Amino acid sequence: MTPYDRLELLATVADLYYVERCSQAEIANRLGYSRSAVSRMLTEAHEHQLIEIRINHPMQRVSQLEYALRSRFGLETVYVAQRGFLAYERMLMQLGRLAARSLDEVLAESTIIGISWGTAVYEVVNALSPRRLRGVEVVQLIGGLGKGDPQIDGPGVAMRLAERLGGRYHSLNAPLIVDNEQTRQSLLASRVIQDTMQLALRADLAVVGIGSVESSRSSLLRTGYLTAEELDEIGRTGAVGDICGTHFDANGCILDIDVNRRVVGINLRELLDGRCRVIGVGGGRLKAPAIAGALRGNLIDVLITDSNAAEQVLSMMS
């Protein structure tokens, strides 16, 4: 049996067990294997990532907070998940499901979707149900990590989203932050990167994480793009958060600071000035200053967050 034939057999066994709901004994009788062999094949199918199991926990939204945020900031859509006792990682999964629901309402054929990277964005993509939409293009908005978890890196997230929608993806093969402005300009002058950025500026939708300058929640610190000292220095400039690596202050004003001049990716102001509908995803009390700044500056059109962050944002407004 060839490796391909083996994978086909494993997929068949998994389909019979999970989709047709046959018992392991029934599968064994149908295919001529022992029950223990069927059990081992199911395990092997999991190991080869032929099986994805999704448990749809019931989601409770907080309509009062959604209304308050929508009214206060003039947002198109706000989804607020009830946090309860969920750990941070589980909360991000809930936000991913809510953001996927928001995307479901607007996805159509020939849509151009821009995407950043990070755990929150990965959870959005992971929560989308697979489908086939003709002519969909997925474009990476900012440079990637190039190390760490490839699933949450820009190219991996873009590829996975394109696979989910039956579309094509366009990677931005560059780091997110480079050493100096000259290097950034050289990269952006590349024909390939220019083509990617031009497509990004035509995006109909963008799914972005809302980054924080709080050290415990900074993706840029965690991935090694910034040191703790550099992050502290950015905070001293008045920055409260970032979208697509571009830092802004408490009023949502994009800052003219060194790190912003070294980011390889979409010009955030140009993206916002276009037709793009920006979906921002972020939660937790520590993200509240960044979320509030993004809202004050009209940097996002749709907010997906949790009740802890929503309450904190509203208290900052009072």
| Number of CB atoms found within 10 A of residue 5's CB | 9
pLDDT for the residue numbered 189: 95
Q: In this structure, what token pair is assigned to residue 146? A: 């190039």
Mean pLDDT of 216-228: 87
Q: Coil, strand, or helix at residue 166? A: coil
Mean pLDDT of 301-305: 97
Question: Could you tell me the CA-to-CA distances from 217 to 114, 202, 287 in Å, in that order?
Answer: 23, 31, 8
pLDDT digits (tens, 9 = 90+) for 1-14: 898 889 999 999 99
- Round the average pLDDT of the chain to a whole number and report it: 92
Question: Could you tell me the CA-to-CA distances from 61 to 39, 144, 231, 264 in Å, in that order?
Answer: 39, 33, 33, 36
Mean pLDDT of 226-254: 96
- Res. 166: pLDDT tops 90: yes
- Name the strand (E) or helix (H) holding 279: strand 277-281
Q: Which of the pair, 145 or 80, is modelled with greater confidence?
A: 80
- Res. 264: pLDDT tops 80: yes
For the chain, give the percent of residues with pLDDT over 70. Answer: 96
- At residue 151 the predicted structure's pLDDT band, cuts being 50, 70 and 90, is low
pLDDT for the residue numbered 55: 61
Q: What pTM value is reported for the model?
A: 0.81
What domains are there in the chain, each with its CATH number? Answer: 3-47 (1.10.10.10), 63-317 (3.40.50.1360)
